């Protein structure tokens, strides 16, 4: 029987703070689910993280912690390539070439650039604007057919596709044009617990807005207890009219695997107090084994380092192939 060739898939998470349950639900939890079906390549995106000011010691710590979290969430280094973005220089090299076919107009229109420029007005740097070009390089280097991301990254993914098509048209077929793999059901966009009109973000200055993957039980329960809902008392999924309640239902649905309709039925007639407590308990219960496994891994730093070093070598081999092709296509003299 003919063996089916697996497609490649790339995704990354920035070590720009403690990872939230939003990052987990929208991205990381899907990573392990996809590893049998695809050739998965997952990165800790430290090059992206420095587009916003990072404290160097915290960045180093967050990088190691995120690698351990990937492993604790079931990503298997025997099945996937797991590495740190700055360990593979081809990401920067390809992004330079892609910069020459990307236009300032399209980059300055990106929602994330506008949001982050407003949020970090004192540090609107070129890297922040160039973020989507580096992201395109990440994906295109591995000829990824699929990119599992939260809905917030959809616009960047479209730019990646545009750049791939533009390059292929100008220089001949070089890149696979990737598709987004965005959750069809809810969960693609988890909102802040403190302000359900904004997405949950690890760099939110209000810590009540997010729950991190490493948060302790008491803190999780307290944050859910304080979560913003609304003045009526109906527990119903309606993101337009009831964004706070719908966000909590989405989180409950994501951690229990129950359908949204079943979640609504389960809480019918109950008060917000009971509802919020149940969501908090469920999240705390679900995170406990991941936290324990992550702590175990962090106690064995040599193992985590070996995973990232082997991952970088494997990523480098794939990336080098695409980069050499790109260099040839654009006309760089090889000296051979
Ligand atoms: N609130 C969210 N709901 C669902 N998915 C989300 N993602 C992020 N926030 C949510 C998804 O998580 C993956 C990793 O994201 P990232 O760290 O690379 O960058 P981000 O999207 O900018 O995440 P944050 O938490 O908002 O980080 P900061 O605060 O540093 O900007 C992506 O697939 C993303 O879609």
Q: Using the mean position of ligand 1's atoms as its centre, give its distance from the Cα of residue 99 in Å.
A: 23
pLDDT score, position 185: 60
Q: Are 17 and 151 in contact (CB under 8 A)?
A: no
Query: Tens-of-pLDDT digits for all 336 residues of the chain?
Result: 556 789 999 999 999 988 999 999 988 998 999 999 999 999 999 999 999 999 999 999 999 999 999 999 999 999 999 999 999 999 999 999 999 999 999 999 999 999 999 988 999 999 999 999 999 999 999 999 999 887 888 999 999 999 999 999 999 999 999 998 876 665 678 999 999 999 999 888 899 999 999 999 999 999 999 999 998 889 999 999 999 999 999 999 999 999 999 999 999 999 999 999 999 999 999 999 999 999 999 999 999 999 999 999 999 999 999 999 999 999 999 988
Q: Return all residues near 126 (Cβ < 8 A) that are at least 6 apart.
A: none
137 in contact with ligand 1, CB cutoff 6 A: no
pLDDT score, position 186: 55
pLDDT score, position 153: 87
| Residue 4 annotated as catalytic | no
Q: Where along the chain do its domains lie?
A: 8-187+301-330, 207-295
45 in contact with ligand 1, CB cutoff 6 A: yes
Which tokens is 35 given?
């590893």
Q: Return all residues near 240 (Cβ < 8 A) that are at least 6 apart.
A: none
Which of 199, 223, 276, 294 is catalytic? The answer is 199
| Residue 321 annotated as catalytic | no
Strands (E), the chain: 8-13, 39-44, 81-84, 146-148, 179-181
- Total residue length of the chain: 336
The neighbour count for residue 331, using CB atoms within 10 Å, is 7
Q: Which fold has domain 207-295?
A: Tyrosyl-Transfer RNA Synthetase (1.10.240)
Q: Are 24 and 73 in contact (CB under 8 A)?
A: yes
Nearest to 52 by CA among 118, 146, 6, 8: 118
Q: What would the CATH number be for the domain defined by 8-187+301-330?
A: 3.40.50.620
pLDDT score, position 324: 98
């Amino acid at each position: 029987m003919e063996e089916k060739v697996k497609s490649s898939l790339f995704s990354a998470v920035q070590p720009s703070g403690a990872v939230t349950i939003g990052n987990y639900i929208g991205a990381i939890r899907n990573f392990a689910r996809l590893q049998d079906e695809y050739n998965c390549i997952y990165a800790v995106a430290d090059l992206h993280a420095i587009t916003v000011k990072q404290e160097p010691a915290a960045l180093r710590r967050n990088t190691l912690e995120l690698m351990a979290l990937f492993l604790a969430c079931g990503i298997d280094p025997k099945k996937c390539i797991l590495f740190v973005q700055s360990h593979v220089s081809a990401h920067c090299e390809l992004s330079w070439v892609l910069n020459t076919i990307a236009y300032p107009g399209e980059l300055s229109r990106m929602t994330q650039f506008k949001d982050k420029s407003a949020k970090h007005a004192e540090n609107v740097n070129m890297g922040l604007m160039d973020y989507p070009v580096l992201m395109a390089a990440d994906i295109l280097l591995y000829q990824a057919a699929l990119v599992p991301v939260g809905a917030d990254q959809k616009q960047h993914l479209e730019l990646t596709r545009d750049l791939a098509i533009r390059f292929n048209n100008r220089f001949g077929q070089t890149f696979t044009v990737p598709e987004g793999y965005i959750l069809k059901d809810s969960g693609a966009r988890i909102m802040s617990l403190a302000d359900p009109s904004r997405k949950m973000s690890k760099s939110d200055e209000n810590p009540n807005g997010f729950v991190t993957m490493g948060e302790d039980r008491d803190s999780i329960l307290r944050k859910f207890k304080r979560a913003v809902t609304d003045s009526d008392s109906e527990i119903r999924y309606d993101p337009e009219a009831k964004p706070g309640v719908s966000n909590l239902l989405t989180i409950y649905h994501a951690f229990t695997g129950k359908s949204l309709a079943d979640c609504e039925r389960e809480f019918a007639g109950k008060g917000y107090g009971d509802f919020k407590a149940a969501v908090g308990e469920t999240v705390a219960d679900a995170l406990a084994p991941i936290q324990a496994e992550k702590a175990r891994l962090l106690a064995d730093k040599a193992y985590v380092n070996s995973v990232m070093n082997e991952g970088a070598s494997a990523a480098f081999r794939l990336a080098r192939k695409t980069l050499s092709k790109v260099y040839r296509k654009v006309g760089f003299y090889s000296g051979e």
